[in-house]
Amino acid sequence: MKNEEDCTKNHRYLFSDMYLSDKGIELSKKAIIKRFADRNKDEFYHRYINWKRQENEIIVFTLYAYEDLKINKEFDCIFNINNPDEFVFEKFILTQSVYEGWAPTDTIDRGHKNLLVFRFEKEIPKILFKLHKEETHGDTRPKDYVKLGFCNKNDFEAIANGLKKYHLLREKYGTEYWKYEDKETEE
């Protein structure tokens, strides 16, 4: 398992493009129960299957984790990936992980997708409801949708600056933007 500190600050964030509705959560659980019919069921399986979402919890689908992480990891920043000037600082904790959407576990593995349960101290910040609300056990995202990032506030400035540079380069050079990443952007 690699350490989070091995990752550069501007890449230390998880990103998501949808959250599951209560109906989506139940469909997820049914699919996992079916998949695990003849498999060993550990504490993480039982924890997810028996979990009842509270008002201060949300389950999001995250894409390609930046590093290996363990559950009970704390975060305190949520931001809009396409507009990092839109952000909120709010403490929350990762309480559960479902690897690739079908295997409850105690980790998030680098480079993989996961369903993640986040618990907030108070209510769920409104910015999270900008994500696509998934009602199925599938993907019904519209063509255009919001992506949010989850990080720690001490990494946020580097992340926001990196995303702003990326957006400027994409606008200027299109799909060839990566050739100019190491060069200064002109303003």
Write down the domain spans for the chain. 4-180
Give the pLDDT of residue 42: 95
Give the pLDDT of residue 174: 81
Give the pLDDT of residue 49: 96
Give the pLDDT of residue 21: 97
Q: Which residues pair with 57 in a beta bridge?
A: 119
- Smallest CA-to-CA distance from 107 within 77, 62, 74, 72 is with 72
One-letter amino acid of 135? E
pLDDT one digit per residue (tens) for the chain, 187 residues: 567 777 888 999 999 999 999 999 999 999 999 999 999 999 999 999 999 999 999 999 999 988 889 999 999 999 999 999 999 999 999 999 998 888 999 998 888 899 999 999 999 999 999 999 999 887 888 788 899 999 999 999 999 999 999 888 888 888 878 787 776 444 4
CATH 2.40.50.40 corresponds to the domain 4-180: no
Backbone angles phi, psi at 36, to 5 degrees: -95, 15
Would strands 14-20 and 57-63 be described as parallel, antiparallel, or unpaired? antiparallel
How far, in Å, CA of 100 to CA of 62, rounded?
A: 9
Helices and strands (H and E) in the chain: how many = 3, 10
Give Cβ neighbours of residue 104 (< 8 Å, ≥ 6 apart).
Answer: 32, 42, 44, 45, 47, 48, 49, 96, 97, 98
